Structure 1
Amino acid sequence: MLLQLIQILYVLVSIGIIAFVLLQQGSGAQAGSGFGGGASATVFGARGASNFLSKSTKWLAIVFFVTSMGMAMYASKQATGKGPAKVDLGVMAQQAAKPAASLPTAPAQNAPAIPMAAPTAAQPAPAATPTAAPATAQPATEKPTQPAPAPSK
C-alpha cells in the first residue's frame, strides 16, 4: 500500500517537473517581450515566473531523486532476500496451486522416421566451395561496323 502511494507521488512529481521545465523561459526569450511577452510578470509577481519556476523545479527534482533512490534501495533489498520476497502472481496464483498430474497432456504423434544415410567411400563428401568452370572465349558473332562515308561537297 505504501509502495503504491510512493509510486503515485513519483509519477506526479515527474509530471510536475516536465510542466515546470516547459513553462520556463529560455535565454533568448527577452527579445519577445516587446510583442506582449511581459504579461507573465503580473501572474507570478514583480520578479516574474523565472524565480518561482526555478525554485519549484529545484525542489521537485530533489523529491524526484530522493524517491528514486528510496525505491531503488527497496527493490535491491527484495532482490537480495533481506526484505519480504512476496511474489504477486495475480491470476496465475490459482494455476500454480494445481498439481502437475492434473494438467492435460498433448497426444503423442507418431511421425515416420526417415533414416539418414552416412556417406561411404563410394560417395565423396560434398566440396565446401563449388569450383568455377574455366572461362572460355566467346566467339564473336557481330561484324565490325564500317565507318560512315564522308559527305561529299
Structure 2
Amino acid sequence: MQTFFTLVVVVQVISALAIIALVLLQHGKGADMGASFGSGASGSLFGATGSSNFLSRSTGIAAAIFFAATLALGVFGGERKPAGGVMDNLPVTKVAPAVVQTPAPASAATASSAQPNQIPK
C-alpha cells in the first residue's frame, strides 16, 4: 500500500510540473495583437492555431490527472494511521518514584519545651 501511495504522489508532482510548463508555454489573450504585426506565430511548430489547441488539450489532460491523483491521495490518505510524534518512538525507562521523607510532627509537650527564648510576662 505504501508503494501505491508513493506512486500516486510521484504522478501528482509530475502532473503539477507539466501543468506549470504548459501554462507558461501558452500565449495570453494579448499576444494576438503582436502576431498580427509579424511576430511569427503562424510559422510556429504546430501551425497558426494548432499550438493553442494542442497546448490547451495537454493542459486539460494534465489537470485531469492532477485532480485524479489528488482524489486518490485523499481517499487513501484517510486510511493511513497517523505517524505520531518524535517522542512516541523513544524507549520506555522505568524510574522508581522518589521517596520524600517528611519530619514527624512534634507533640504539644515537646513544642512548649522547644522554645527556650520565651520571655515570661
Normalised by the size of structure 2, how large is the TM-score?
A: 0.63
CA–CA distance in structure 2, aligned partners of residues 76 and 98 of structure 1: 28
Structure 2 letter corresponding to 1:100: T
SS of structure 1 residue aligned to 2:28: coil
Q: 1:57 to 1:46 in 2, by over 3 A?
A: same
Indicate conservation of the 8 Å contact 2:23/2:59, yes or no.
Answer: yes
SS of structure 2 residue aligned to 1:43: coil
C-alpha RMSD of matched pairs (Å): 2.5
Higher helix share: 2
1:97 Cα deviation after fit: 5.7
Residue 111 of structure 2 is matched in structure 1 by none
CA–CA distance in structure 1, aligned partners of residues 15 and 24 of structure 2: 14
1:70 to 2:63 alignment: no
Residue 141 of structure 1 is matched in structure 2 by none
> Which structure is higher in RCO with an 8 Å CA cutoff and minimum separation 6?
2
Structure 1 residues 48-63: aligned runs within 5 Å: 48-63=50-65
Normalised by the size of structure 1, how large is the TM-score?
A: 0.51
Residue 30 of structure 1 is matched in structure 2 by 32
2:94 to 101, 104, 122: 101
Residue 21 of structure 1 is matched in structure 2 by 23
1:47 to 2:60 alignment: no
Q: State the Cα deviation string for residues 101-145 of structure 1 (Å, max 9, x = none).
A: 37xxxxxxxxxxxxxxxxxxxxxxxxxxxxxxxxxxxxxxxxxxx
SS of structure 1 residue aligned to 2:15: helix
1:96 Cα deviation after fit: 2.8
Q: Gaps spanning 5+ residues in structure 2: where?
A: 96-121
CA–CA distance in structure 2, aligned partners of residues 88 and 45 of structure 1: 55
Q: Gaps spanning 5+ residues in structure 1: where?
A: 79-84, 103-153
Q: 1:42 to 1:88 in 2, by over 3 A?
A: same
CA–CA distance in structure 2, aligned partners of residues 60 and 12 of structure 1: 9
Q: Number of aligned residue pairs: give it.
A: 92
Structure 1 letter corresponding to 2:39: G
CA–CA distance in structure 2, aligned partners of residues 21 and 46 of structure 1: 18
